Amino acid sequence: MSTIQIEDVSRWYGNVVAVNGVTMTIGPGVTGLLGPNGAGKSTLIHMMGGFLEPSSGGLSLDGEPIWRNPSVYRHIGLVPERESGYDFLTGEQFIVSMAKLHRLPDPEAAARRAIGRVEMDYAAARTIGTYSKGMKQRIKMASALVHDPAVLLLDEPFNGMDPRQRLQLMDLIRQMAAEGRTILFSSHILEEVERLATHIEVIVAGRHAASGDFRQIRRLMTDRPHVFALRSSDDRALAAAIIADGSARSVRLTEQGLEVETTDFERFTRLVPQLARKAEIRLREVSPADESLESVFSYLVGN
């Protein structure tokens, strides 16, 4: 069981702050690092992987500093986002080489195990240059697994994968978490994080915006003013009913229908159909007007 400790870490490039005073602890299980593109997720993962010096603050793995300490790689497996393997090696040569670099006692057997775990046996004899994006992702995963590390850092692991590969990788990550590993993966897609992570850290514009399990994050993301667009058979009557109920903060009558701002997402979505039925109004459309992840994130940062 391993823990990564991030303490008041900042990283800036010239005048641009990429990561700003982040403190978090990544323990066993699956942690999702959620944030929009450009939020600083990769910068943070690179610092956790010892590839980037924090401009201030410190990172440690079980008390050992990570920066300039190659011995931590005995316990860390890192899957970078963009870098591919060595295109001119076959999958098997690549993984065996990685096992040898780790000085494992039986590199061939370790490589076979790792390749088996990511289900790449059938393509292990082909050169990596001929692999599809999903296959490259899996062979990178095998390279990070070959020494059976306690900590796995995955930067956007699902990028470019088809739905089936995505499910396979999710299964693999769950299995490895069940074995007691500490796994951190980054994503800008809420749904991926929800399905896989037992713990979520949200990072927006370099700041640590929220932390908790998926329910807490869900609540944070839904307990905020939501704007809905509604169309119905009688907009004025519906507006009156909504105002009378009190779950809305404002109701605006527009040419296209109603624009309702509510502070209680769940109550409002349950309430609207009931109100409509009672007042005998036919609902034609109920749609959230600002559901983009970016607006959710910007709300979180605003608080």
Partner 1 sequence: MNTTIAYITFRGMLGRRRALLLFFLPAILILLALALRLTGNDTQDDGAAILWTFGLAVLLPLLSLIAGTGVIGPEIDDGQIMYVLTKPISRTSVIVTKYLCAVVLIVAFAVLPLWLAGAIMLGPDSDLPWAFAVGAFLGGLAYCSIFTALAVATRQAVTVGLIYALVWESLLGNFAPGTQTLSVQQWALTVVDRLTSSSTITASVGLPLSAVLLVLVTAAGLALATARLRTLTLASAD
Q: For residue 61, what are the β-bridge partners?
A: 4, 64
Q: Which is nearer to partner 1, 10 or 84 (CB)?
A: 84
What is the number of other CB atoms lying within 10 angstroms of the CB of residue 172? 17
Q: Is 73 in the site for partner 1 (CB under 8 A)?
A: yes
Q: Is 278 in the site for partner 1 (CB under 8 A)?
A: no
Contacts with partner 1, 24-43, as mask; x by CB under 8 A = ------------------xx
Q: Is 126 in the site for partner 1 (CB under 8 A)?
A: no
185 three-state secondary structure: strand
Residue reference for tokens 């983009």: 292
Q: Is 226 in the site for partner 1 (CB under 8 A)?
A: no
Contacts with partner 1, 136-155, as mask; x by CB under 8 A = -------xx-----------
Spatial separation of the C-alpha atoms in residues 34 and 56, rounded to whole Å: 22
Give the shortest CB-200-to-partner 1 separation in angstroms.
23
Q: Which amino acid makes up residue 228?
A: F
Q: Which is nearer to partner 1, 7 or 81 (CB)?
A: 81
Nearest-5° Cα angle at 128, 135 to 41:
55
Q: Is 10 in the site for partner 1 (CB under 8 A)?
A: no
Count the residues of the shown chain that bind partner 1, applying the rule CB under 8 A: 35
Q: Tell which one of 32, 49, 134, 157 touches partner 1 (CB under 8 A).
A: 49
Give the shortest CB-122-to-partner 1 separation in angstroms.
23
Q: Is 15 in the site for partner 1 (CB under 8 A)?
A: no
The answer for residues whose C-beta is within 8 angstroms of residue 41's C-beta and 6 or more apart is 33, 35, 155, 156, 186, 188, 203
Q: Is 12 in the site for partner 1 (CB under 8 A)?
A: no
Phi–psi pair at 186, nearest 5 degrees: -105, 150
CB 73 within 8 A of CB 152: no
Interface stretch with partner 1, choices 66-74, 113-121, 177-185, 231-239 (CB under 8 A) = 66-74
The answer for residues whose C-beta is within 8 angstroms of residue 287's C-beta and 6 or more apart is 228, 229
Q: Which amino acid makes up residue 100?
A: K
Query: Which residues of this protein are in contact with partner 1, per CB under 8 A?
Result: 13, 42-43, 46, 49-53, 68, 70-74, 76-78, 80-86, 88-89, 97-98, 100-103, 143-144
